A and B are shown apart, each in its own frame.
Chain A
Amino acid sequence: GQQLNQSPQSMFIQEGEDVSMNCTSSSIFNTWLWYKQDPGEGPVLLIALYKAGELTSNGRLTAQFGITRKDSFLNISASIPSDVGIYFCAGQLSVNSGGSNYKLTFGKGTLLTVNP
């Protein structure tokens, strides 16, 4: 089945530093999503990417959908303590032909710790 490789597994940074994390897949996805999850809570959507090559920003967050449709990255600029959490990438086939095209396949997450 499809698998997403997310790296790094964890990061420990100083407040104010920039952060980069990425996700690669053995298969093509037509939608890439990035979520953040706090302990004991559900994932919260950060950025959605629907087109290969697309670069999208949400405040200090920027994400790109790789041209090959097999990868995506997320950058966080000028990190702050509240950025602490687990970041997940997720891919979706999202083709209107039924079957398993709507389910999300998740990476294992990147644990981000920000030292004030």
Chain B
Amino acid sequence: DTGVSQDPRHKITKRGQNVTFRCDPISEHNRLYWYRQTLGQGPEFLTYFQNEAQLEKSRLLSDRFSAERPKGSFSTLEIQRTEQGDSAMYLCASSRGLAGSETQYFGPGTRLLVL
């Protein structure tokens, strides 16, 4: 397995712009997760997919956020009309297996700075 990859690693944007991040999970992992991490905090859950179905969204995921996993492989997370409060590390994780035995493996993250 080559691990979870994320692109870009860093993004600087101006307030009001749209940004899109990509995550490529470990091959054959059917679950894919997005988390957000701010300085001094642990990662916080945003949303997750099982195959192409988005099964849960956190209250943190405002209407400006949308995530897709169209073919059940890679996923994109788009933030529209970015705000300074969106500045954070966006982490993707993937897993497979049954509940009670699965383990989530994280990518290196995309660090977003909104000016």
Contacts and interface: CB of A to CB of B under 8 A. Distances in A.
Interface of A: 4, 6, 30-31, 33, 35, 40-45, 48, 50, 88, 90, 94-96, 98-109
B65 interface: no
Nearest to B47: A103
B21 interface: no
12 contacts: A33-B103, A40-B111, A41-B108, A42-B108, A45-B105, A50-B100, A95-B99, A102-B48, A102-B102, A103-B48, A104-B104, A108-B42
A109 B91 CA distance: 16
Contacts of A50: 100-101
Interface string B90-115: 01010100111111111111010000
Interface in B1-43: 4, 6, 31, 33, 35, 40-43
A84 to B, nearest CB: 17
Interface of B: 4, 6, 31, 33, 35, 40-45, 48, 55-56, 58, 91, 93, 95, 98-109, 111
B102 A44 contact: no
Nearest to A40: B111
Contacts of A107: 42
A50 B103 CA distance: 10
A103 B95 CA distance: 11
Given A33-B103, A35-B106, A45-B103, A106 B44 contact: yes
Contacts of B95: 102
A23 to B, nearest CB: 10
B109 A108 contact: no
Q: Which of B4, B31, B106 has the most CB of A within 10 A?
A: B106
A34 to B, nearest CB: 11
B48 A94 contact: no
A10 to B, nearest CB: 11
Contacts of B43: 43, 88, 104, 106
A103 B106 contact: no
A44 B31 CA distance: 18
A23 B108 CA distance: 24
A108 B99 contact: no
